[in-house]
Amino acid sequence: MNVTLKIWRQKNAQAKGKFNTYPLKDVSPEMSFLEMLDYLNMQLTEQGEEPVAFEHDCREGICGTCGLYINGRPHGPMRNTTTCELHMRSFKDGEIIYIEPWRARAFPIMKDLIVDRSSFERIMRAAGFINTNTGSAPEANSNPVSKIIADKAFDAATCIGCGACVAACKNSSAMLYAAAKIAQYAMIPQGKVEAKDRVDKMVRQMDAEGFGFCSNTYGCEFDCPKGISVDFIALMNREFLSSKACKQKHG
């Protein structure tokens, strides 16, 4: 199959970028989207042109490194699919495919399709962890967790931090990401101990990074490759309000 790619090219963070058009011939429908870009980059390299910079790592949908805004959708047209798991059979022969980087103030472009997502890391560093004593593993039955709660906490924990929620949101809000990271701890006993302090710190860091606010459009849930539910955003809101309302003073 043949496709026409319109790819955002930007030399560095300061440069002004633009779309370049690349007609690509003899693309196999069995290629993954990233293999198709590899194929383009091989040709560009042979022609002595700068290859298109894009991020990728595991290529099996679990690392959260790849993430391209393809034809108006984060990770392309397939739901619950990362860019690396998307295949060219999802496109028509002769289709024009727009490939853009995530667009958000909190995700500045470094080069071409690569954005700096360290704002996510700083949200995690603020309080996205639990404090626990080291030593031998505690007796499992001393902390009973119901199956439903354990499954929900795990659903939240499947977030790979790719940033598709921010890319999809009309407000560039990171609420789904932060909510997943908060909810994975807030529902289980080990995480509940510091839950109120955690939600306060992580939400404050999220706001400081320049993400927008949630207006409950739910585009994030639609485009999340892991299908993370906006129910977690409600949970985060609930945790946040209760942390504000019930804050205890030290001393």
- Binding region for other proteins (CB under 8 A) out of 45-53, 56-64, 115-123, 233-241: 233-241
Pairing of strands 73-74, 18-24: unpaired
Instruction: Write down the least CB distance from residue 173 to other proteins, Å.
Output: 7
Which one of residues 72, 138, 189, 227 is an interface residue with other proteins (CB under 8 A)? 72
- Least distance from other proteins to the Cβ atom of residue 251, Å: 29
Q: From residue 68, how far is each of 119, 127, 199, 200, 214 by CA, in Å?
A: 18, 28, 29, 31, 22
Binds other proteins by CB under 8 A, chosen from 159, 162, 168, 206: 168
Q: Which of 11, 89, 92, 103 binds other proteins (CB under 8 A)?
A: 103
| Residues within window 126-155 making contact with other proteins, judged by CB under 8 A | none
Q: How are beta strands 96-100 and 3-9 bridged, if at all?
A: parallel
With CB under 8 A as the contact rule, the residue among 215, 227, 244, 247 that binds other proteins is 215
- The answer to the question of residue 112 lying near other proteins (CB under 8 A) is no
Q: Which of 59, 78, 218, 243 binds other proteins (CB under 8 A)?
A: 218
What residues between 173 and 212 interact with other proteins by CB under 8 A? 173, 210-212
